[in-house]
């Protein structure tokens, strides 16, 4: 498949998707979402890809949903098409996906970064939910995910005023896992992805699934869910290999089995 709005590369065991619509600061038009979905389908189906990185340009990760495309939509059209549901492919990924954010991550761009498993930000990153300034509200989980991550007070202030959060504040608030120099963002994200990809794929997927459950379940159920997955790792060759390698003081050779 050829892509118009994204770049898609496979670097060893990592699928790297770069949003590439510079003239619109990577605004998330329908074509871009279609291509992103297709690339994620490829990554999920390819047994040699263990981890994904989603990134944008230095100036913008993504400046939100495409306002030109949305402006004239009627309520009926948007409700019947349910166009935002097409963005949920990221949320359905079972393999880990890292957002590497530089520049603007606004509206749907911030929401898309939050759908990823964690965010590595450049020191120039700016996060915000400016929908209030254009007469609408966040529509792809902004009021929900941002609130869970940064708490009520900051989420309220950001969504009610459209104020942007810089990288330093985002790190302090727990929105991003790490801030790196802008020139090092891609390399750092790739290094992190390669590290994850070096482990057993089913184990990595179970960790992702278990942390995801923390947002959906009460603590007592979440702990039980985790324990069942933990016991199930004993059915994998990789658990036997990982623990044997530790005891034999040698690096493990994981086979994903
Ligand atoms: N949709 C469509 N086009 C966009 C866009 C968007 N979200 N954001 C930027 N662009 C376009 C601009 O229209 C402009 O195009 P032209 O050159 O053809 O005029 C181009 O990208 C460059 O943008 P600016 O000239 O505005 O660049 P700037 O550096 O002066 O400002 C900015 C950058 C502050 C990010 C500004 O572009 C901006 O405020 N963008 C809109 C941000 C926004 O409101 N996002 C929320 C969208 S709604 C949403 O996402 C809903 C949801 O939750 C699902």
Paired residues of 130 in beta bridges: none
Among protein residues, the one whose CA lies closest to atom 30 of ligand 1: 25
The Å distance, Cα 16 to ligand 1 centre, comes to 24
Does the pLDDT value for residue 232 go beyond 90? Answer: yes
Q: Which of 111, 113, 128, 142 is catalytic?
A: 111
Contact at 8 Å (CB) between 174 and 149?
Answer: yes
Q: Percentage of the chain surpassing pLDDT 70?
A: 100
Paired residues of 164 in beta bridges: none
Residue 172 Ramachandran class (φ > 0 left, ψ -120 to 50 alpha, else beta) = alpha
Nearest Cα to Cα of residue 127 among 163, 86, 151: 163
- Which atom, in ligand 1's list, is nearest to the CA of 59? 29
The Å distance, Cα 63 to ligand 1 centre, comes to 5
Q: What is the rounded average pLDDT of the residues 27-38? A: 98
pLDDT at residue number 1: 81
Ligand 1: which of 63, 142, 144 to mutate, most ligand atoms within 8 Å of CB? 63
Interval 36-89: pLDDT, tens: 999 999 999 999 999 999 999 999 999 999 999 999 999 999 999 999 999 999
- Known active-site residue 65: yes
The Å distance, Cα 72 to ligand 1 centre, comes to 16
Tokens linked to 7: 């770049």
The rounded mean pLDDT for the chain is 97
Nearest Cα to Cα of residue 45 among 78, 79, 10, 71: 10
pLDDT at residue number 44: 98
Rounded Cα distance between 219 and 213, Å, is 9
Our answer on whether the CB atom of 171 is closer than 6 Å to any ligand 1 atom is no
Rounded Cα distance between 112 and 138, Å, is 11
CA atoms lying within 13 Å on the CB side of residue 201: 17
**DSSP state letters, 57-103:** -SSEEE--B-HHHHTT--HHHHHHH-GGGGGGHHHH-SS-EEEEE-S
Rounded to the nearest 10°, the torsion over CA 2, 86, 28, 103 is -100
Contact at 8 Å (CB) between 196 and 15?
Answer: no
pLDDT at residue number 19: 98
pLDDT at residue number 33: 98
Paired residues of 46 in beta bridges: none
- Known active-site residue 131: yes
C-alpha distances out from residue 169 to 130, 131, 218, 250, Å: 17, 20, 29, 41
Q: What is the rounded average pLDDT of the residues 222-250? A: 98
Ligand 1: which of 23, 24, 25 to mutate, most ligand atoms within 8 Å of CB? 25
Q: Which of 64, 103, 108, 139 is catalytic?
A: 108
pLDDT at residue number 27: 98
Nearest Cα to Cα of residue 207 among 116, 99, 95: 95
Our answer on whether the CB atom of 108 is closer than 6 Å to any ligand 1 atom is yes
Q: Percentage of the chain surpassing pLDDT 90?
A: 100
């Amino acid at each position: 498949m050829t892509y118009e709005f994204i770049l898609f590369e496979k670097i060893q065991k990592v699928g790297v998707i770069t949003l590439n619509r510079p003239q619109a600061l990577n605004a998330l038009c329908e074509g871009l979402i279609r291509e992103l979905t297709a690339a994620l389908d490829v990554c999920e189906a390819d047994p040699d890809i263990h981890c994904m990185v989603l990134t944008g340009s230095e100036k913008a990760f993504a400046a939100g949903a495409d306002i030109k495309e949305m402006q004239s939509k009627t309520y009926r059209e948007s409700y019947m098409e349910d166009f935002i549901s097409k963005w949920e492919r990221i949320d359905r990924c079972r393999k880990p996906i890292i957002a590497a954010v530089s520049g603007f991550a606004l509206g749907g761009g911030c929401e898309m970064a939050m759908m990823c498993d964690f965010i590595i930000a450049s020191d120039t990153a700016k996060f915000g939910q400016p929908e209030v300034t254009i007469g609408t509200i966040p529509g792809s989980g902004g009021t929900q995910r941002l609130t869970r991550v940064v708490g009520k007070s900051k989420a309220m202030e950001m969504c009610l005023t459209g104020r942007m959060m810089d990288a330093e504040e985002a790190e302090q608030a727990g929105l991003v896992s790490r801030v790196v120099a802008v020139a090092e963002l891609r390399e750092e994200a790739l290094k992190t992805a390669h590290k994850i990809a070096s482990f057993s794929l089913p184990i990595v997927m179970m960790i992702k699934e278990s942390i995801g459950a923390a947002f959906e379940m009460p603590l007592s159920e979440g702990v039980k869910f985790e324990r069942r997955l933990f016991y199930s790792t004993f059915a994998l060759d990789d658990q036997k290999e990982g623990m044997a390698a530790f005891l034999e003081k040698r690096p493990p050779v994981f086979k994903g089995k």
